[in-house]
Structure 1
Amino acid sequence: MNPAYSTIECRVCHAINPDLTDLRVRKWICSGCQTHHHRDGHSDEKLLVTYLDALESLNGGRRDRSESR
């Protein structure tokens, strides 16, 4: 994921909302799937998922190395 799109790309259908040029707009609805987004939380979530996906690929397809209980 390109970090430049982290607040304008839908986390569900991955549609890009090119109308979000004004950073003062904090909430938006995806025109592709109607998912409601909040830019701050959405950006954090997308970056976390990107990080976890990268970690999973480095870890042989598993996100959690051990389940120590």
Structure 2
Amino acid sequence: MNKRWTIDKIKEFVENNSDSKLLTTEYHGFSQKLLFECACGTHFEKTFTKFKNNHQRKCAVCQPPKVSR
């Protein structure tokens, strides 16, 4: 069975698994981009799926995108 993510569960996941902070206050589904604040103070947007599964947990300055092959 799929785990239903709520904004509170997402916030807890972010706090426990990264140095970033969740700024979004509502969650409407997996395709929604959420607003985060990186440890350096930069704001960035990612879907929770990318944040959680792809380990994209920092802004583009602190964690530059991987170069495609």
More strand by share: 2
TM over 0.5: no
The normalised TM-score by structure 2 is 0.34
**Higher RCO, 1 vs 2 (CA within 8 Å, ≥6 residues apart):** 1
The normalised TM-score by structure 1 is 0.34
Larger Rg over CA atoms: 1
